Chain A
Amino acid sequence: MIDLTVNGAAARVDVDPATPLLYVLRDDLHLHAAKFGCGLGQCGACTVLVDDRPVFSCLMPVGAIGTRKVTTVEGLGTAAKPGDVQRAFLHEQAAQCGYCIPGMMTRAEGLLRKTTTPTEYAMRTAMAPSLCRCGTHMRILRAVRRAAVMRGGGVVDAAEPVT
């Protein structure tokens, strides 16, 4: 049995400790926001926060989490009451197919927990591990800039202003 704290709630799962966190989230806890993209740590579709750090949940063995807190997109807010990163993404309509977006939002949340005033370069570097094939990059960056402002900060040197 493995004990976890996911989105503030305690969870207990009976799985091989080597199982990547992603499968536990999706198949055992029915939290579907984190997506399978590659299983190789190359695309970021599976990104969740462990404590405040974005991690590839497809690589992270569930047995290695320990007491650290796991946050998924479900923990950022709900459709009825979206959190500020979600509101920023909705405001910018920052999605096409949307498959990469949960990973983008958790990665953005991780960045903003570290600093709400990143430079444009730091923001792009922080987002770089996540791939989007639809080419939604510009809207995703706009949404992160907007979320930074909503958190009382703002992206310094923004390539495109928040409008």
Chain B
Amino acid sequence: MSGQASRRDVLGGLLVAFSFAPAALAQTGGGEGSGGPPTVAPDLPGTLAKFPDLDAWIRIAPDGRVTVFTGKVELGTGVKTAMAQLVADELDVAIERVDLITADTSLTPNEGVTAGSQTLEQSGTAVANAAANVRLLLAETAAGRWGVAATSLFTRDGAVLDGQGRRATYAELAASTSLAVRARADVPRKRLAARRLIGRPVPRVDLPAKLTGLPSYVHDMVLPGMVHARVLRGPSSGTRLTPDLAALRRQSGVAKVVQVGRFAAIVGPREWPLEQALRVANRGRWVRDAAVPALPPMPAGLLTMRRESQVIDTRRDDPAARGIRRLSARYDRPYLMHGAIGPSCAVALFEEGRLTVWTHSQGVEPLRQAIAELLAMPVDRIRCVHREGAGCYGHNGADDVAGDVALIARAMPGVPVRLQWSREQEHGWEPLGPAMLAQVDATLDASGRIVDWRHQVWSNTHSTRPTAAGDLLAGSEVVPPFTPTPPKPIPQPNGGGDRNAIPLYRFPNQTIVSHFLPDMPVRVSALRGLGAHLNIFALESFMDELAVAAGRDPVAFRLAHIDDPRAAAVIRRAADRFGWGRYRPASNRGRGFAFARYKNHGAYCAVALDVERIPDEGRLIVHRAVAAVDSGEAVNPDGIRNQVEGGIVQSLSWTAIEAAGHDGARRTDYDWSTYPILRFADAPRSVSVEVIDRPGTPFLGTGECAQGPTAAALGNALAAATGVRSRSMPLAAGSPTPV
């Protein structure tokens, strides 16, 4: 990733740019995983419906290399590999000949934000169908040359063949095949039997570079003449540092202090002197901005906050059903941190009135809009280019640091600037995953069936992703400050705080209420899974509590209430592989099960855990985790396993030991010593994931399906192991409530 390579036209100027939707249409909402321009071709699948021309997605260079353009980004989930597999297979070229350009506002389709486990559904579907279209067009060119019907030809390894010895490479054919044409909806994807890559555990295309130290992250970028920067901020979100800027100017290694209103940063040629200057600056006084509402005691305080309540689902199929036993329970989780291992970082260059920002943001297009407003620059003079960062798990400091560096770079025309936050800044300023509370009430009838279900959830918004300058930290520091976009709930069927609040089970009567809390005493935004983590924890914990009350086995109880056959298959597979029926509990050791279909329209995932609680220590040992997952068509089964294994371990950490603290004035966690996360000693003894492949069916996405079920399976296993049910996260701490 040298500067020259990044700044050069990636395609060597050989291919002309395709037309974009007008900038005004590119404005995205603050939602999650949505956005981009409106649909113009509703008959086309995935994001092809918004960008129907083939050359928006795929181009073939004169040497036959295939370049794929996607508006989605690699966040460490392996989507680059999956997309390369899709294109290589559909087009019939070697995967080594496929290059991917991800999220670059000058080059790629505007696919909004990469989030919500929707990358394959939206972009994967688009590139696969575009590739199938391109293959057909190339075959038609060959057919024209040879005077035969395209249907009599076939393709192999980057060439069209007629079976009689005639062969034309894609490189030759591409020169006389225009891809500036609209995709056709009726071009078939490759027959399942003919697929060579889709459905196979193809090794990740990005790992050889990452595992041998080749520059792979925005953090690794070096541009000629590049300087480093550090931003000056108080200890945590809602505070403001009042540094002695004159003293900082005299500090050795500080070449420049950039001040824009209340925003301030130091710039210099080397990182270490800047780090030292930052430490000096951090000793300065800080104040708390009065505008932030007071934080009530959590989690019960959520119930006292101003709320906008909405019934998001209601059903009265059997109002006459007679319940004989009513149960209620409350579940909650604290604020959680994304906690990327690499603090947020961005690089920018302002030159001749144009600004380029290299960023690990999940949404380069909305970020570009926000920066344009922040700098009062026309949006078409700004280019945001995605470069990978450390895994982000949602909206962390990525966008903020990009806004920061844009302000600094504008003050230093012609000089590339690299800004990296400190660990303390990442912990102190990243938007946290919101604290949440859910209350569930249900009634059982005489036969042990659930006849009535009521779920209520209290939560802040789960997305403050930037769409305007006021959503960036720097936007509130410039003078006059920009106002943040007012928070709003993410509507169903995806949902935000109420994601997965609606059960997939068939209950004859149910009412689901979402209490949206607009006031945010603590800065919050999207954390992987959004509300699904707490809602599934509540729903699936309560299913176990009801199963106990009904005297039923928890797995059988779930199966008795589900009528979706794919859900039942996943539940059965996980239970089988775990050996649910054969399990023998030991003292302080128990099994737990949970299931969910992410968002009720994503991947199906069931998790079974075998957990021991060490008495007196509160420490947990996860002896075994077994999961089954149905993500629809499995493009890369090993990629799916990797995501689910990771989701299980990550959720064990969130659910068992994590809580982000706040003392009313500031956050109390500023590094890993005060915010511990799961380490190797406490990682499970074994994790196994079974992928149920559904070839030929839509991609359902995988990245967030395991977190909710893991949380509930842990709660259920602990209740089984100890006889005491914990309904408040973190489950390895605090005082459990008696069953």
- Within 8 Å by CB of A98, from B211, B393, B686, lies B211
* Cβ-defined contact, B217 with A99, below 8 A: yes
* Cβ-defined contact, B220 with A138, below 8 A: no
Max count, chain A CB within 10 A of own CB: residue among B209, B215, B422, B683: B683
- Within 8 Å by CB of A97, from B343, B388, B679, lies B388
* Cβ-defined contact, A38 with B647, below 8 A: no
Least distance between A42 CB and chain B CB atoms (Å) = 4
* Cβ-defined contact, B213 with A74, below 8 A: yes
User: What residue of chain A has the Cβ atom nearest to residue B1's Cβ?
Assistant: A32
A123-137: contact bitstring with B at CB < 8 Å (1 yes, 0 no)?
011011011111111
* Cβ-defined contact, A78 with B210, below 8 A: no
* Cβ-defined contact, B211 with A105, below 8 A: yes
* Cβ-defined contact, A136 with B646, below 8 A: yes
* Cβ-defined contact, A36 with B212, below 8 A: no
* Cβ-defined contact, B213 with A37, below 8 A: no
Q: In this assembly, does A150 line the interface, its C-beta being within 8 Å of a C-beta of chain B? A: no
* Cβ-defined contact, A133 with B203, below 8 A: no
> Chain B residues with Cβ under 8 A from A131's Cβ?
341, 672, 677, 679
* Cβ-defined contact, A99 with B341, below 8 A: yes
Q: In this assembly, does B280 line the interface, its C-beta being within 8 Å of a C-beta of chain A? A: no
A110-129: contact bitstring with B at CB < 8 Å (1 yes, 0 no)?
00000000000000110110
Q: In this assembly, does B638 line the interface, its C-beta being within 8 Å of a C-beta of chain A? A: yes
Q: What class of interface size applies to chain B in its complex with A?
A: 35 or more
CA distance A158 to B673 in the complex (A): 29
* Cβ-defined contact, B650 with A82, below 8 A: no
Instruction: Give chain B's interface secondary structure class.
Output: loop
* Cβ-defined contact, A95 with B681, below 8 A: no
CA distance A30 to B50 in the complex (A): 42
> Chain A residues with Cβ under 8 A from B388's Cβ?
97
Interface positions of B from 608 to 658, Cβ below 8 Å from A:
638, 642-643, 645-651, 653
Q: In this assembly, does A149 line the interface, its C-beta being within 8 Å of a C-beta of chain B? A: no
Interface positions of A from 28 to 63, Cβ below 8 Å from B:
30-33, 35-40, 42-43, 45
> Chain B residues with Cβ under 8 A from A40's Cβ?
423, 671-673
CA distance A100 to B420 in the complex (A): 17
Q: In this assembly, does A4 line the interface, its C-beta being within 8 Å of a C-beta of chain B? A: no
Identify which of B270-278, B378-386, B474-482, B550-558 touches chain A. Answer: B270-278
CA distance A31 to B273 in the complex (A): 20
CA distance A11 to B51 in the complex (A): 51
Beyond A95-B204, A95-B207, A99-B341, whether A133 also contacts B647 by CB under 8 A is no
CA distance A148 to B214 in the complex (A): 25
Between A and B, 27 residue pairs with Cβ closer than 8 Å are A16-B273, A18-B272, A23-B272, A26-B220, A27-B270, A32-B214, A32-B216, A33-B213, A36-B219, A36-B420, A37-B341, A37-B423, A39-B423, A42-B671, A43-B341, A45-B342, A89-B207, A96-B76, A98-B207, A99-B390, A102-B211, A128-B680, A133-B340, A134-B650, A138-B684, A159-B685, A160-B685
Which B residues have a C-beta under 8 Å from some C-beta of A?
75-78, 201, 203-204, 206-217, 219-220, 222, 270-273, 275, 338-343, 388-391, 393, 420, 422-423, 638, 642-643, 645-651, 653, 671-673, 677-681, 683-687
